[in-house]
Amino acid sequence: MAKRLAFVMKDLYGGGAEKSLLYTADELRKRGNQVKFYIMRDFIEHRIPDGLEVINLGIHSQFTRALNNVLIEKWQARQLEKAFATFNPDIVFSCSADKITRHVRHPNLYFMIRSDMSSTPMSEEERRKSYAKAHKFYDGRQVLAVSKGVRDNLLNKVGVTPSVCKAIYTPYDPQPFRDMAAEPVDDLPAGEFILSLGSLEQRKRHDRLLRAYKESGVQTPIVILGKGQPEDVTRVKGLISSLGLEERVRMMDYRTNPYPYIAAAKFLVSASDAEGLPRALIESLLLGTPLVSTDCPSGPKEILSHELQDFLVPLDDDAAMADAIKRMDEQPVVIDERYITPFLASTVLPQYEAL
């Protein structure tokens, strides 16, 4: 039976969480559900799927940020409720907007947790405040975690006590990604290359990646595709220079369509300290591109299955990362249907509709 589904997010900044939620909403729409995607300000860096209705409520601004108090949050929540009144959603999904949606009155509201806050580097005082906020937002509420690792850490490490806490993966239909991968681009690297995909923030640990890459002795060049703050760009460029890798490492800015680069890569490598369920790794598998990744909390272990388990390396082990890069460069793993079945829309979407 078709349902009315509302998704809420602050904006559509060019990040993985935003992209994941857009595609989840669109795949549910394609199955015959009525779907509306609400954002709070007009900031869109992603390609909106054809047919998906995105509604900007215009309730997040410099004014509301400057005031930044509970009364403003409750006013914003009332505006959401007014928008819902004309749609009457059966389920509301909130992602990265929980400070506001926690005030929304709806009988079937789910908070979508996409990262593992227990593994985020912070001081003891920062951790205490972060955990206290999680309890305030999610105790007694309905929570969806993007992976089993995120769910388990939220319950066991953060100690949150939601009324419902389920792990549901982001759903994927491979064909749209394969179609986008076939689109022409004019700056695709010539010849074989290794790909690092994602933001340039510290958590992604480009220092670990570049040290291991140099130690591996691999001559296949590496492309770093992603954006960051100016200081992050300067930091990564400095790492490349200090390691003497200018001739083998190329930095490229964020692309709204990264899939031609993923499909063309020999393999993708991730050296992150922490993830939720990294979509770049799943999308690589959808396009037949094998992976090397750190075994960071909490998603890679659930993605690198079968033969790829041998390319899941411990954190802070540059030698193991270097060895995995070398082995994958010498004999890349062939990706087949087994690797993507848990993430396919046909597997995942019925779990959302059953909520």
Question: Is the pLDDT reported for residue 297 higher than 90?
Answer: no
Sheet of 291-294, strands arranged across: 249-252, 222-225, 194-197, 267-270, 291-294, 312-313
Question: Is the pLDDT reported for residue 120 higher than 80?
Answer: no
Given pLDDT bands bounded at 50, 70 and 90, which one contains residue 63?
confident
State the pairing for strand pair 194-197/4-9.
unpaired
In whole angstroms, what is the distance from residue 307 CA to residue 332 CA? 10
Q: Which of 276, 273, 272, 274 is nearest to 291 (CA)?
A: 272
Taking only the tens place, the pLDDT of each residue in 220-274 is 999 999 989 999 999 999 999 999 999 999 999 888 899 999 999 999 999 999 8
In whole angstroms, what is the distance from residue 269 CA to residue 267 CA? 7
Q: Which of 163, 111, 164, 168 is nearest to 137 (CA)?
A: 111
CA 91 to each of CA 24, 106, 107, 110, 255: distance values in angstroms, whole numbers, following the listed order: 14, 8, 8, 8, 32
CATH fold of 4-171+345-353 reads Rossmann fold (3.40.50)
- List Cβ neighbours of 333 (8 Å cut-off, separation of 6 or more): 290, 307, 308, 311
Query: What is the predicted pLDDT for the residue at 264?
Result: 98
Q: Which of 342, 354, 355, 317 is nearest to 172 (CA)?
A: 342
Of the options 3.40.50.2000, 3.40.50.300, 3.40.50.720, 2.50.20.10, the CATH number for the domain spanning 174-339:
3.40.50.2000
Taking only the tens place, the pLDDT of each residue in 38-52 is 999 999 999 899 999
CA 118 to each of CA 131, 145, 148: distance values in angstroms, whole numbers, following the listed order: 8, 14, 14
Q: Are 93 and 129 in contact (CB under 8 A)?
A: no
Given pLDDT bands bounded at 50, 70 and 90, which one contains residue 205?
very high
Ranges of CATH 3.40.50.2000 domains, the chain: 4-171+345-353, 174-339
Comparing 20 with 217, which gets the higher pLDDT?
217
In whole angstroms, what is the distance from residue 355 CA to residue 346 CA? 16
Query: What is the predicted pLDDT for the residue at 276?
Result: 80
In whole angstroms, what is the distance from residue 248 CA to residue 240 CA? 9
Taking only the tens place, the pLDDT of each residue in 69-111 is 999 999 999 999 999 999 999 999 999 999 999 999 999 999 9
**Gap between the terminal Cα atoms of the chain:** 12
Burial class of 94 by CB neighbour count within 10 A (0 to 12, 13 to 18, 19+): buried
In whole angstroms, what is the distance from residue 346 CA to residue 23 CA? 14
Average pLDDT over residues 121-147: 94
Burial class of 104 by CB neighbour count within 10 A (0 to 12, 13 to 18, 19+): buried
Query: What is the predicted pLDDT for the residue at 279?
Result: 87
